[in-house]
Structure 1
Amino acid sequence: MSQFDVTVIGSGPGGYVAAIRCAQLGFKTAIIEKYSTLGGTCLNVGCIPSKALLASSHHYEELQHFADHGIEVSGKVKVNLAKMIERKQQVVDQTCGGIKFLMDKNKITVFEGVGSFVDATHINVAKNDGTSEVLESKYTIIATGSKPSSLPFIAVDKERIITSTEALKMTEVPKHLVIIGGGVIGIELGQVYLRLGAQVSVVEYLDRIIPGMDAGLSKELTKVLKKQGMKFYTSHKVKEVTRKGKAVTVKADDAKGNELVLEGDYCLVAVGRRPYTDGLNAEAAGVKITERGQVEVNDHLQTTAANIYAIGDVVRGAMLAHKAEEEGVMVAEYLAGQRPHIDYNLIPGVVYTWPEVAGVGKTEEQLKEAGIAYKAGSFPFKALGRARASADLDGFVKVLADAKTDEILGMHMIGARCADLIAEAVVAMEFRASAEDLARMSHAHPTFAEAIKEAALAATDNRALHV
């Protein structure tokens, strides 16, 4: 029987990072992955492949406007979807191969198969080759991630009624893609196929898209995507999805009971994700699963079994790859006797559309609900020289600061490169910077980052210089 100090079940960003940090700290470490490639949802059918398709479709869209830059392209520009999907897979394969290299480098034993608890210190691995093996492990970290959710009355056939997994390997550009769900996944994949020529309609139960982010970002992204041709039906409750041949019909009611009927050739169900604990046999180890399907954990991410921990999408909190990574590191260091911590308020959220959307800290809605006195300053990207030079004029940066202390409580932005710019906000808030601190920092000119300085100036006595 193989024996390990730590065994990680699941090789997504949380799992493989946890394994690496455990190995760095001197633990004899194993990782169990049910699929033949490492990396979990994020690397295989989530973050990485979707960003590859977003990048490729963005290049195609930009090509339509090359003439504005004095670049003339002769002949008709065509989309080769098969080649685009092939490139996406190459990116995925290279990235997953990199994880395999890291496992070897850190002397982490990899088991391909399904891991299930025999008891709190023993895990059975039903290997992909048909054999099985029982491992003994002093500690175990559950990092089994999540799977796409659906609605109980929708029959996902993975052909015309699909999830994000199938949307990443389409063989044709849809004529009309109907998306159920206006969250990050639906909006990102919707923009991919909108750029490639599809008609895209988004049906959202709530009154706005990306509802978890600041309302100002939602409003601006809706405006921009409408301008690009995407159609939105917010405050609509889907009640029926049917397929006949290549046609899919989606029926929904608005708040007043009026029926909406949309007919498309594909329907993407993007109503969120659910924790994945199937086959884990958690009860055999004394690990409690909540009514929401999550693994119950305490502040140290310790489960109801003292030697078993859980991280990432399978526990409470935002389902974000970087949140899972931080949790993986925290558990590893906690097991080594260190005192790590995570400030969940400082985990940024990002939407990788173009313009990109990002936010960290409290939203205006949250501050109002909590009765916290705050001041806000915003600055539009269109006022930046760099934005005009690159023709990326949409969006703004908003800084929210405490009305008395000036400490930054939240920062929210939509525009070019916001996925990268949000890191400045995280650093500032980690060190409890004030809006005045950011306003006094020199930002290189011309850059998109100048919008952060200007928004901070706007939040401090309305001192923005370029509006």
Structure 2
Amino acid sequence: MDTYDVLVIGGGPGGYVAAIRAAQLGFSVACVDAFTRDGKPSLGGTCLNIGCIPSKALLDSSEKFEMISHDVQDHGITVEGAKMDVAKMLGRKNGVVDKLTGGVAYLFKKNKIKSYHGYGKLMRQDEGGWIVDAAGTEVKAKNVIVATGSNPRALPLAPFGGNIVENSGALEFSEVPKRLGVIGAGVIGVELGSVWRRLGAQVTVLEALPGFLLPADAAVSREALKQFQKQGLDFHFSVNITEVRDNGGSVSVTYTEKEQSVTAEFDKLIVSIGRVPNTEGLGAAQVGLELDERGFVKIDEHYHTNLPSVYAIGDVVGGAMLAHKAEDEGVAVAEIIAGQAGHVNYDVIPWVIYTSPEIAWAGLTEQAAKDKGIAVKTGQFPFSANGRALGHGDPRGFVKVVADANTDKVLGVHMVGPNVSELIAEAVTLMEFGGSAEDLGRTVHAHPTLSEALKEAAMGVGKMAIHL
């Protein structure tokens, strides 16, 4: 029986990063992962195969198409008869996925990580470790890391299949649906709705909650909703879905809105109402692995489960279901197993929505800080006053900085606008080291750059903004 110092169950962003870091620390490592794409084993989990990476590839393709079709005219460029070859767009997307998943396989080989394709199941504790069924082969591991991720949550009225799809199905439409329905106005729903709206679909978004992006700063939510509505996305809030029927050639959705019953017809329906932990086949009940009332694996602050030498990270433990959160937990847990001080600062994890305009934030919103009893001061700067944004022809949105009124420590940064997915990293770095708004405002930023909007917003906290 093969024996390893560390065995990771799950090869997504948390699992494969944990495996690589553990190997770097000198452990013998194996990873068992069941993900299959196009009939072949494919490391990288949901993120690389059917989530973060392919969706961003399609977002980029669709944004280029919209830019060529509409936006470049302001630059003096005339393009006539632009067409989208959907099959070629999907092929490019698949090529990006192949390159990255193949890169993970290369890194496993480079770091001498044994890969098992199939399901991993905890069998029993043995002297010196755990016996794990690794895709039909029993192995022993001194330490086990559970990183099995999550699955899309299905709407009971609308099981997945046919014209009713979850995120992976929405990445594979062979043609642009004329009428696209999206249930759920969260990150995935809005991103995928944006892809197909740019290519010509009429998109309707149905959301049970009373507002848009409620976890985000209220000013950002209002601005983003305004921009998306201008683009043609049709949002309906506080709706209650009462019936969903796949008619073969279309999907009918009946819902109540403002006490009125409405039935809408769509060619395709995307259901994006969150995700649930993936513990199926893990053997949790058999070995006594403790789950909470929602099915997430219970852990302590050091990722220990209730079982000795069994750890868990990523979506399967709850919290922010983000690939970068899982990656950092993967590094942390490997270092903890090695006796080091692995750590993740959950207060400054960035959130990003890759629409146009992009949305990004980290830390506390203004309202959340006030709810905690913290007196705050804020600074806000619009991209319409930023030279680089104007040069790009995309001056939508703004940057907002929230700081402690007494100490000037930055508590949160919130953005909507061009390329803010990249700008948020500077804010996260500042907050990680407890920086103040004045620290950020007095740091020299290159001119002209979009990052100057962040600098000016920070200066605005102290009423020192120059260009406003």
TM over 0.5: yes
* Residue 184, structure 1, aligned to residue 187, structure 2: yes
Instruction: Please tell me the residue identity of whatever aligns with 1:144.
Output: T
Q: Which residue among 45, 49, 54 is the counterpart of 2:50?
A: 45
CA distance in 2, matches of 1:282, 1:405: 47
Match of 1:25 in 2: 25
Offset of 1:458 from its aligned partner? 1.0
Instruction: Please tell me the residue identity of whatever aligns with 2:146.
Output: I
Q: What SS does the corresponding residue of 2:117 show, helix, strand or coil?
A: strand
Q: Please give the residue correspondences for 1:154-173 in structure 2 after superposition, counting only pairs within 5 Å.
A: 154-157=158-161, 159-173=162-176
Structure 2 runs not aligned, ≥5 long: 36-40
Q: Which moved more, 1:138-147 or 1:369-378?
A: 369-378
Residue-pair matches, total: 458
Offset of 1:348 from its aligned partner? 0.5
* Residue 354, structure 1, aligned to residue 356, structure 2: yes
Q: Which residue among 109, 112, 119 is the counterpart of 2:117?
A: 112
Instruction: Please tell me the residue identity of whatever aligns with 2:264.
Output: L
Q: What SS does the corresponding residue of 2:308 show, helix, strand or coil?
A: coil
Match of 1:88 in 2: 93
Q: Please give the residue correspondences for 1:58-207 in structure 2 after superposition, counting only pairs within 5 Å.
A: 58-64=63-69, 65-73=71-79, 75-120=80-125, 121-126=130-135, 132-157=136-161, 159-207=162-210
Match of 1:251 in 2: 254
**Contact 2:163/2:251 (<8 A) preserved:** yes
Offset of 1:463 from its aligned partner? 1.9
Structure 1 runs not aligned, ≥5 long: 127-131
Q: Which moved more, 1:42-51 or 1:258-267?
A: 258-267
CA distance in 1, matches of 2:82, 2:296: 47
Offset of 1:211 from its aligned partner? 2.5
Match of 1:464 in 2: 465
Offset of 1:117 from its aligned partner? 1.0
CA distance in 1, matches of 2:242, 2:300: 38
**Contact 1:183/1:211 (<8 A) preserved:** no
Q: Which residue among 226, 229, 239 is the counterpart of 1:226?
A: 229
Match of 1:129 in 2: none
Instruction: Please tell me the residue identity of whatever aligns with 2:153.
Output: S
Q: Which moved more, 1:333-342 or 1:182-191?
A: 333-342
Offset of 1:263 from its aligned partner? 1.3
The percentage of aligned residue pairs carrying the same residue is 50
Q: Deviations over 1:295-324 (max 9, x none)?
A: 000000110102100000000210000000
Q: Please give the residue correspondences for 1:254-403 in structure 2 after superposition, counting only pairs within 5 Å.
A: 254=257, 256-403=258-405
Offset of 1:457 from its aligned partner? 1.0
Q: Deviations over 1:116-164 (max 9, x none)?
A: 11114011123xxxxx21010000000000111012222221x211110
Offset of 1:365 from its aligned partner? 2.4
**What RMSD, in angstroms, separates the aligned Cα atoms of the two structures?**
1.0
Q: Deviations over 1:29-53 (max 9, x none)?
A: 0000112110000000000000000
CA distance in 2, matches of 1:260, 1:396: 36
CA distance in 2, matches of 1:155, 1:344: 34
**Contact 1:364/1:400 (<8 A) preserved:** yes
CA distance in 2, matches of 1:209, 1:392: 22
**Contact 1:350/1:358 (<8 A) preserved:** yes
Q: What SS does the corresponding residue of 1:103 show, helix, strand or coil?
A: helix
**Contact 1:217/1:413 (<8 A) preserved:** yes
